[in-house]
Amino acid sequence: MKRMLALSALLLCFTTTFSQTSKSWTPDLGNGHFTNPLMWGDWPDPDIIRVDDKFYFISTSMHYVPGCPIAVSRDLVNWEMNGYAVSRYDEDPRYDMKGGDMYLSGSWAATIRYHDSTFYVGFCTPKMEGKEGHFSICTAKKINGPWTRTIFNEYLYDPGLFFDDNGKVYVAHGQQTLYITELNSDAKSVKVPQRKIYDNPGFPYLEGSHLYKVNNKYYLLGSTGGTAGREVCLRSDSIYGPYESKVVIQDDHTYPGNGLHQGGMVQLKDGSWWFIIMQDRGPIGRVPNLEPVTWVDGWPMPGKNGMGVDTFQKPVVGVTCPITVPASSDEFNSAELALQWQWNHNPDNSKWSLTERPGYLRLKAGKASKLLYAINTLSQRVEGPYSEGTVEMDISGMKDGDIAGLGIFQIPYAYVAVQQTNGRKKIIMANNDSTVAIVNLKGNNKIWFKSYVREKGFVATFAYSTNGKHFIPIGNELKMGLGLDWTANRFALFNFNTSLSTPAAGGCVDINWFRR
């Protein structure tokens, strides 16, 4: 009896969890005001520019492909995805999961600028085992590309690209010890090697530099103190200093222990300035906040009265924008992959298709010992305060050894999947590669999986359905973590095989839709 009561309580808990309505977070209150955060998901290290009447926002994406996601807005509040500056990484075979992996490599601290009818995106790639770090510049005449990437021999950490009004081009970079490197006029090579401009032990790990010129003074904004951080501004009459400094915001009231730090600011047509600055929110990610800027004694002060704003009047007046959020659901009806998706490392394009069966995403199994090393794992951000992802999957094309399903991916990770062995299929729930629940399947060609993520407590739960209507909880909770530093948990679609004898021996699954 006690066991039955415990099971009933667990089912009630899961049923309550999965009956909640999933709705993407929006900061637009619909009354001329907005609320923070701007996007309640992992959009770290933000930088921003305005080109005419549009704003462009760029973010770090680490090892995910394509890299350097770019979002667009007309009012700084309602955003949608616009594209990516990097289509794939070809400088190391480990990006293809050959000879190792490149977790936490790729693009760090992207910077975006527009100059002389050209868009520029810069980022650094940190040193990995056997590979030195480097700096890249991507250029395009249109924001949606095509983009051309130039890889530098130099390593410019957390770069801030800056075009001066005298025609010179600079990158501010470094960690605690900051430098200025001058580039040639096309910004594709170094003209003058790095020159030290600032070093203050009182600002440990000062990084995330972004450089501006306002009223003939140079302003360098950066973050110090990491997750609990604060935003620092350096100011000088010369690009090379000397620089004086000021903490311009130190506030964690919206997420105690985690301060607002690192981001970029932009000037509007009306002359006002606004800052997009991030805040760590644990396994959900580093989320951007939108803050007004007040100039006090020549210093740009984000927020209001020393604190980040909770709600505030929208920045752009006279422009009516529909409430828009970056897309998440996908019916897979296009011949091209929707912009919300990123692969875990470079994809093997021979093992996925949107055209072999129109209206479906086909994932063909590649060999992997576990999900961590599975090629063609397709992912998108989870979201706070809660998010729910559901997938419909045709499993008739699976072969022995295939494991295909829906996961929440980071380290640790967990998933619900179909596994085929000796011609028989079963549903499994695995928590960090340990199978904790098994349900046998008989004659099913379709299966539905659901995962629910709660920001409170940072937990994820899973369920399955054999008819698409009634979902049955399975397994246990995933306690989401951050074993892969500086990147958040993600919904993941996958199909891998643990026992392939030849690369072509695996089966396939067809995903009809993914809905949030």
Q: Is the pLDDT of residue 455 over 50?
A: yes
Lowest mean pLDDT among 58-72, 161-175, 295-309, 312-326: 312-326
In a shared domain, residues 267 and 167: yes
In a shared domain, residues 114 and 244: yes
CATH number of 205's domain:
2.115.10.20
In a shared domain, residues 106 and 217: yes
Q: Is 252 a catalytic residue?
A: no
Interval 68-92 mean pLDDT: 97
Do the Cβ atoms of 78 and 324 come closer than 8 Å?
A: yes
- Condensed to tens digits (0 to 9), the pLDDT of residues 128-143 reads 887 889 999 999 999 9
SS (H, E, C) 397-452: CCCCCEEEEEEEECCCCEEEEEEEECCEEEEEEEECCEEEEEEECCCCCEEEEEEE
What is residue 13's predicted lDDT score, i.e. its pLDDT? 40
Do the Cβ atoms of 175 and 207 come closer than 8 Å?
A: yes
What is residue 129's predicted lDDT score, i.e. its pLDDT? 85
Count other C-beta atoms under 10 Å from residue 3's C-beta.
Answer: 7
In this structure, is residue 25 part of a structural domain?
no
**CA–CA dist 317, 76 (Å, integer):** 11
What is residue 502's predicted lDDT score, i.e. its pLDDT? 66
- Residue 334, φ and ψ in degrees, nearest 5: -95, 155
Residue 499 token pair: 């026992």
Nearest to 352 by CA among 183, 153, 493, 196: 493
In this structure, is residue 194 part of a structural domain?
yes
In a shared domain, residues 234 and 354: no
- Condensed to tens digits (0 to 9), the pLDDT of residues 183-221 reads 999 999 999 999 999 999 999 999 999 999 999 999 999
Interval 493-512 mean pLDDT: 88
Catalytic entry in 45, 47, 251, 455:
45
In this structure, is residue 414 part of a structural domain?
yes
Do the Cβ atoms of 248 and 302 come closer than 8 Å?
A: yes
User: What predicted TM-score, i.e. pTM, was given to this entire model?
Assistant: 0.93
What is residue 414's predicted lDDT score, i.e. its pLDDT? 98
Domain count, the chain: 2
Pairing label, strands 64-65, 67-73? unpaired
Residue 403 token pair: 């494991």
Q: Is the pLDDT of residue 2 over 60?
A: no
In a shared domain, residues 51 and 154: yes
For residue 503, say if its preceding peptide bond is cis, omega within 30 degrees of 0: no
Using CA atoms, how far residue 125 sits from 109, 122, 180, 302, 331, in Å, is 9, 10, 18, 29, 34
Q: Which long-range contacts (CB under 8 A, 24 or more apart) does 250-254 make?
A: 250/306, 251/303, 251/306, 251/307, 251/308, 252/228, 252/279, 253/307, 253/308, 254/36, 254/37, 254/279, 254/289, 254/308, 254/310
In a shared domain, residues 370 and 462: yes
What is residue 124's predicted lDDT score, i.e. its pLDDT? 98
In a shared domain, residues 164 and 301: yes
In this structure, is residue 291 part of a structural domain?
yes
Among positive and negative, which fits the CA dihedral 346, 352, 354, 355? positive
Do the Cβ atoms of 290 and 274 come closer than 8 Å?
A: yes
Residue 73 CB partners (closer than 8 Å, separation 6+):
54, 55, 57, 79, 80, 321
In this structure, is residue 455 part of a structural domain?
yes
Do the Cβ atoms of 274 and 316 come closer than 8 Å?
A: no
Do the Cβ atoms of 355 and 381 come closer than 8 Å?
A: no
Nearest to 33 by CA among 249, 384, 286, 292: 292
In this structure, is residue 18 part of a structural domain?
no
Q: Is 150 exposed, middle or buried (0-12, 13-18, 19+ CB in 10 A)?
A: middle
In a shared domain, residues 279 and 371: no
Q: Is 45 a catalytic residue?
A: yes
Q: Is the pLDDT of residue 20 over 80?
A: no
- Condensed to tens digits (0 to 9), the pLDDT of residues 145-159 reads 999 999 999 999 999
In this structure, is residue 11 part of a structural domain?
no
- Condensed to tens digits (0 to 9), the pLDDT of residues 61-78 reads 999 999 999 999 999 999
Do the Cβ atoms of 414 and 462 come closer than 8 Å?
A: yes
Stronger pLDDT, 500 or 407, i.e. the higher one: 407
Full residue range of the structural domain in which residue 462 is found: 342-515
Interval 278-289 mean pLDDT: 97
In a shared domain, residues 244 and 361: no
In a shared domain, residues 285 and 423: no
Q: Is the pLDDT of residue 259 over 80?
A: yes
CATH number of 380's domain:
2.60.120.200
**Rounded to a whole number, what is the largest CA-CA distance in the chain?**
81
DSSP single-letter state for residue 11: H
- Condensed to tens digits (0 to 9), the pLDDT of residues 330-360 reads 999 999 999 999 999 999 999 999 999 999 9
Query: Among 273, 296, 313, where does a domain finish?
Result: 313
CA dihedral 12, 15, 19, 20 (to 10 degrees): 60
In a shared domain, residues 293 and 368: no
Written as one string, the DSSP assignment of 485-499 is: TT---EEEEEEEESS
User: CA geometry: angle at 381 spanning 378 and 384, to 5°?
Assistant: 150
Query: Among 313, 332, 357, where does a domain finish?
Result: 313
Position of tokens 């989870």? 382
Residue 357 token pair: 């069966």
Interval 405-424 mean pLDDT: 97
Using CA atoms, how far residue 279 sits from 58, 234, 410, in Å, is 16, 21, 19
In this structure, is residue 425 part of a structural domain?
yes
Stronger pLDDT, 140 or 501, i.e. the higher one: 140
Cα of 258 vs its chain's centroid, Å: 18
Catalytic entry in 42, 158, 207, 455:
207
**CA–CA dist 57, 45 (Å, integer):** 10
What is residue 503's predicted lDDT score, i.e. its pLDDT? 62
Q: Is the pLDDT of residue 19 over 90?
A: no
In a shared domain, residues 269 and 418: no
> In the beta sheet, which residues pair with residue 136?
123, 151
- Condensed to tens digits (0 to 9), the pLDDT of residues 233-245 reads 999 999 999 999 9
Model confidence band, residue 317 (pLDDT cutoffs 50, 70, 90): confident
